[in-house]
Chain A
C-alpha cells in the first residue's frame, strides 16, 4: 500500500449529502489541490513506509503512453504479417514453386555441416515455439475469445505465457550459436548488390551469388540483431524486479513486440522459400547436400568453387557434409 505522506487521504470519510459535495474530503480539508494532482500525474514521488524502487509513485502516467504505443504496435504488426503472407501467397499463385530448371542431376554437393544444421534446427524449433506462443499472447485477446470463448482463451494464454517464459532463455544461446556458426561467408560483397539490382532473379533473368546471396545474408544479420534485441528485452521482461525502473520494462515490452514482429515477418519469407517456394532448397538443411543444378542456378559462384566435390554417391556426400560441410574445398584452396 503506497502511503504518500504529503497527500495522505483520510481513511474513512464521513457521510455527506451528494448535493453538498464540493471536492474530495481529504486531509487537505475537503479542498481539491490541482497542483498536487498535477504533480502526481507527472510522476512526482512521495514517501513510503517500505522504500522500494518507484514505491512512492502513485500514478505512473507513462503506462498510458505505453498502452497506446502497444496497441498501435499490435495494429501495424498484424498488418505487416498479413501483408507478408499476402505477398508470399500471391507470388506462389502467380509464379508457382520455383523449380530446378535444369532438372535434378542426381549429383549432390555438400553445403551445410552437421553442426550448422543442428544449430539451425535448434534455433528454428525454439523460434516456432516462441513465435506461436508470442503471437497468441499479442493478438489472442483480440481474435480468439469470439471464436473459442473466454475460458478457452484464458487456458491458452496461461499455457502460452508459461511456455514463452520457459523457452525464451534457451533462445539466447541459440542465437549466439547461430551467429558463430553461420557468420563465415555472410559478409556483404559487391556481387550481392548486383544480385539485389537484378531482383535476385525472382522476376526473370539470372543473378549470380556466392554461398549466400544478398537476401540470405540480410536474413542472417536480421536474425542476429533481432535475436539480440529479443534476448535483452526478454530478460528485462522476465526479471522486472532486477531492472527496477518500470519505464525501462515498458520500453523493453515495446522493443520485444516490435523486434518479434519484424523477425517473424522476415522468417515467413525465409520459411516460404526454404520449403514450398523453391524446389531443392530444404534438403540443404535436412541432408546437408544440394543438387548440383540447384547450386548452379542459385549460387553459381559457390558452385564454381565446389563443383569438383559433386558426387552421385549421395550417402557418402551426406556423411562428408555432416563431418565437414563445404569446408574441405575452402581448405584445399588455401
Chain B
C-alpha cells in the first residue's frame, strides 16, 4: 500500500501542494489532470526523485520519505519508456535482476518467464531502437514487472501510441493486471484511459489533488456529471476569472473571454479549471456571431467509426472535438483548416477554482 500524507514539494517553477493519497495493494490507481497539473512530479516524488519539504510517504507501512529511489521497491515506466539503448531487449529486462544479484540462471529463467507473459519472447535479442511503440512498451512493462515491485508507476504510458495500438494496450493492461494483480499508479490526461483501467482516481490541478475517490462516485456527483458524458471525452481548460455577472462567470482563456454558468461566485483573478465534453463543442467554418467562440486551427483528425475526433489548437490550448461524419463532410474539414469552435456556456463546468 502507498500512502502520501500532506506532501509538499517545491521545485523552481512548480509546487506540489498538500497531496494526500492512498493506493491499496493490488489496485490500479489513476492520477488524472491536464498537462502541467503536476502528475509527473507527483509520480517522481513517489519514486524518490524529488524530496518533499513537508509531509511523508509510506510504502507498505514504512516511512520511505528519506529513501533513495533504489530502496523504495517501485518500478517506473516513463512516457517514452526509457529503454536502455545500448542494451538488447533481454539485457534491458535483466537489468533489475542483475542489480539484485540473482544468479545468471535465475535471471535467464525470470526473463523468459515474463517475456512469455507479455508475448515478447521473439524480441529478446533485438535492439530497442528497432521496435515499434507497442513493442517498446511491452518491453518496458516486462522490465518493470520482472523485479516484482511493490508498485509500478506509469507516466502517460499510452500517449505515444496511435489510436489502434492504444485500444489494444488498454485491453492488454486490463488482462495483465487481472492476472498478475500488481499495484499500479497510472498517470494520464485521458478520461477514456482512466475509465477503462481504473476504479479509483485522483484528479489533479495546479499542483493539488482536487478530488480523490471512486470514479463511479464522480459519476454520481452532479459537480462532475458534465465532466464525464456518454462519450467519455473531456477537455480540461485552464483560465482566469475576470468577472461574475448574474450567475455567469467570465473566464479568460489565453486572451479570449468566455462565459461559464456557475452557481457560486468566484473572485476575479482566481485561476479555474474548466471541463467541457468533446461532444458538446460545436465546430463552424465561420464565426456564427455568437459568443464563446475560439478561432482554432485543425491539427489532426481521427476517424472513430461513428464520428471524427478533431484535434484543434487555439494559442496554447488544445481541444478535442467530436464531430459527426455528416458534419465533417458538410464542412469539408481537413487538417490545417481554420475553424471557429463554440463552447456552449451551459456545457462548461468549473471543476476547480
A pairs with B: no
